[in-house]
Amino acid sequence: MRRKLFWWMIVGILLLAGRNVSAQETAELRLRLTRDFGFSAGLRIQGTFSYRVEGPESLVRVVFLLDGEPVAEDTEPPFRWQFHTDDFPTGVHTMSALGYTADGRELTSNVIQRTFVTGSESWRVMLYIIVPLLVLVIGGRWLSGWIVNRNRQQSGKPVINGLLGGTICPNCERPFAIHWWSFNFTFFRIDRCPHCGKWSRVRRVHPDALAEALDALETAESTDSPLRTQTEENLRQQLDDSRFTDT
């Protein structure tokens, strides 16, 4: 009884393995649509795109279809066809592919549906997406900067981070908020330090680095202050004593 059960298990495993191999060999083509350069938002596309087809190793030829009509053919892997949406009418289009194997079988791919739009419409959709994002980003930065600056002003500390961020003067090494009227050269700005009054090339610095620079500066000044005061008092005392020296 156990021997029969054992042999039946072996036969079942072999049958399942054979079915899996057969299923892999007869699998349909896998069609993917990739963007090479252009616009893509949901089902709307515009620009340069590519059909990419994957299939069994015996695949020798692929015919690319647009709305059921052949538009291109490839006989060498990787099976790919590049196209531009402006070469076809705007509107909804259906993309698919047919594959042919070395043993004469015909395979059918999955279907992809997209809407081809004009360049002006793609820009309009992009503006609808980008403008609100810019408003949120700029508004968030302004609000966070305003809150930080307000807290610093209430605590009596100097403002070191503004709407355009903050920087550290390369001359006096003091942090300050970048002025809105500074000269912008894309990768850097020319700004005037409110501490030393010198113009220099500056770049935006992370708020944590600004805070660390300010703390280090305040610590250095508090450490030097008693020594400076003591030195001044000693000089003053020596000057006063010299006035009454009988020569």
Contacts of 194 (CB under 8 A, 6+ apart): 176
How much is the pLDDT for 26? 41
Indicate whether 51 and 110 sit together in one domain: yes
Q: Which neighbouring-strand residues pair with 206? A: none
Tell whether 91 is covered by a domain. Answer: yes
220: helix, coil or strand?
A: helix
How much is the pLDDT for 163? 73
Indicate whether 40 and 95 sit together in one domain: yes
How much is the pLDDT for 229? 52
Whichever domain contains 50, its CATH number is: 2.60.40.10
pLDDT in tens, the chain (247 residues): 555 555 566 655 655 544 443 444 445 889 999 999 988 888 999 999 999 999 999 999 999 999 999 999 999 999 999 999 999 999 999 999 999 999 999 999 999 999 999 877 767 666 666 777 777 776 666 666 566 556 555 555 667 777 778 899 999 888 988 888 888 888 889 999 988 889 999 998 888 888 888 888 878 777 655 545 555 566 566 556 655 545 4
Q: Which neighbouring-strand residues pair with 39? A: 46
Place of tokens 């009988």: 246
Tell whether 84 is covered by a domain. Answer: yes
How much is the pLDDT for 132? 76
Tell whether 151 is covered by a domain. Answer: no
Q: How many domains does the chain have?
A: 2
How much is the pLDDT for 19? 45
Tell whether 74 is covered by a domain. Answer: yes
Indicate whether 177 and 228 sit together in one domain: yes
For residues 55 and 107, is the Cβ–Cβ distance under 8 A? yes
pTM of the full structure? 0.46
Contacts of 132 (CB under 8 A, 6+ apart): none
Tell whether 212 is covered by a domain. Answer: yes
241: helix, coil or strand?
A: helix
Indicate whether 38 and 92 sit together in one domain: yes
Own/partner long-range contacts of 119-125 (Cβ < 8 Å, ≥24 apart): 119/46, 119/86, 121/44, 121/46, 122/38, 122/39, 122/41, 122/44, 122/46, 122/47, 123/39, 125/39, 125/41, 125/44
- Residue 77's domain comprises 30-117
How much is the pLDDT for 76? 92
Among the listed residues 165, 166, 136, 161, the one whose alpha carbon sits nearest the alpha carbon of residue 149: 161
Query: How many Å apart are CA 182 and CA 171, to the nearest integer?
Result: 17
Tell whether 24 is covered by a domain. Answer: no
- Which of 67, 92, 117 terminates a domain? The answer is 117
How much is the pLDDT for 135? 72
Give the amino acid at 86.
Answer: D
Tell whether 142 is covered by a domain. Answer: no
Tell whether 96 is covered by a domain. Answer: yes
Indicate whether 99 and 39 sit together in one domain: yes
For residues 47 and 118, is the Cβ–Cβ distance under 8 A? no
Among the listed residues 33, 32, 37, the one whose alpha carbon sits nearest the alpha carbon of residue 119: 37
